[in-house]
Amino acid sequence: MIVTLLIIAILGIGTYIFLNTERFGKHPSGEHLMRIEQSPNYKNGSFQNVNETPMLTEGVGYTKVLYEFLFSSKPKEPTRALPSIKTDLKALKADENVLVWMGHSTYFMQIDGKKILVDPVLSGNASPLSFTTKAYEGTDIYTTDDIPEIDFLFISHDHWDHMDYKTLKQLNPKIKKVITGLGNGAHLEHWGFNPEKIFEGDWYDAFSFEDGFQVHVTPARHFSGRGLTRGKTLWASFVLKTPNATIYIGGDSGYDTHFKEIGKKFGPFDLAILENGQYDKKWKYIHMLPGEPLKAGNDLNTKTILPVHSGKFRLANHDWDEPLTSITEEKNQKNIRILTPMIGENVNLKDPLQQFKPWWKSLKD
């Protein structure tokens, strides 16, 4: 009995120490928390979605989800390294308007002379434990050394597959401005970021920057939290208006009415970057199911969709290539162009006729 209690005590202390390591960030306090408490989207001690959003579909329990993910599900994984093309980001000409997807929800854009990075995860895994949620072979072709100075870094929310502690610590000296939802600045300041370069916004807040760049913080249907507590920081999408383009940066989001509202307020969009992967009917409210990214694209009134949130990490029970197969099979039913570059491939944002190979099909056995 004494030995059992001692083991439980050691495990409890170890867990407490681990959860308080720097990688977990820091909850907002002081002036940060005072501002959050004034938000109409913050109620009963946590941020809320526009509409009621259960974490799991009705009738589904966490025990079932965990057991299936760990033991009973057998989604197909890549059997060999994913193909890629490594664009030299530091060698781009100033007048090039390009996008480079780096797998999952990480991508680089150079638009109208500004360099932009979104949700960078370049450390090889997407969890607090380096030996779990590891990147597929061939997907980690970029490191922080390959990233040039960044004018605008966007962080959509604080989950491990979007806000990577190791990557952000290394990138900090290269970042001029960070744009994110309320509360996330507490994590970043805890990791050494200068608060003067952090721009936190509530939904529908706007920031104007030099050279005609404007950002609107907009809703998403999701949640936040890096440890055991949820909803202390705001999850968001963004509308980026440049001198010559309007781009929607979607973050993570289940399908809901906010897409149509954003489309009415800010559309039409030249490009919408939308999550398309890591879905399951058991958590249908917080990630879009197949077909819903195209519905969201229509609501937004976008000409083009870049589907992301797949191709690098396994966070759900579908086959690794199912998201791309699904959205490209349906694309001819909609008047929307679907971009499907390989990791690292240069997407020329000035060329509406650029074609991309169905590269994921080459990995079929």
* Lowest-pLDDT range of 172-176, 254-258, 327-331: 327-331
pLDDT band of residue 332 (cuts 50, 70, 90) is low
pLDDT band of residue 306 (cuts 50, 70, 90) is very high
Residue 66 has pLDDT above 90, yes or no: no
Closest listed residue to residue 111, CA positions, set 258, 316, 259, 271: 271
Average pLDDT, the chain: 94
Closest listed residue to residue 282, CA positions, set 34, 57, 5, 53: 57
Residue 71 CA to residue 145 CA, distance in Å, equals 38
pLDDT digits (tens, 9 = 90+) for 276-305: 999 999 999 999 999 999 999 999 999 999
pLDDT recorded at residue 133: 93
Work out the number of other CB atoms within 10 angstroms of the CB of residue 335: 9
- % pLDDT > 90, the chain: 85
The identity of residue 240, as a single letter, is L
Average pLDDT over residues 180-204: 98
Residue 130 has pLDDT above 70, yes or no: yes
Distances, alpha carbon 219 to alpha carbons 27, 35, 57, 192, 329, in Å: 21, 18, 21, 27, 28
pLDDT digits (tens, 9 = 90+) for 202-230: 999 999 999 999 999 999 999 999 988 99
The answer to whether 300 and 267 have CB atoms below 8 angstroms apart is yes
pLDDT digits (tens, 9 = 90+) for 1-41: 776 766 777 777 777 677 889 999 999 999 889 999 999 99
* Lowest-pLDDT range of 50-64, 85-99, 101-115, 200-214: 50-64
Residue 360 has pLDDT above 70, yes or no: yes
Q: What is the token pair recorded at 311?
A: 């191709």
pLDDT recorded at residue 2: 75
pLDDT band of residue 59 (cuts 50, 70, 90) is confident
Is the N-terminal amide bond of 195 cis, ω within 30° of 0? no
Residue 365 has pLDDT above 70, yes or no: no
pLDDT recorded at residue 60: 87
- Taken in order of first residue, the domains within the chain and their CATH numbers are 29-363 (3.60.15.10)
pLDDT recorded at residue 102: 98
Q: With a threshold of 0.85, does the pTM exceed it?
A: yes
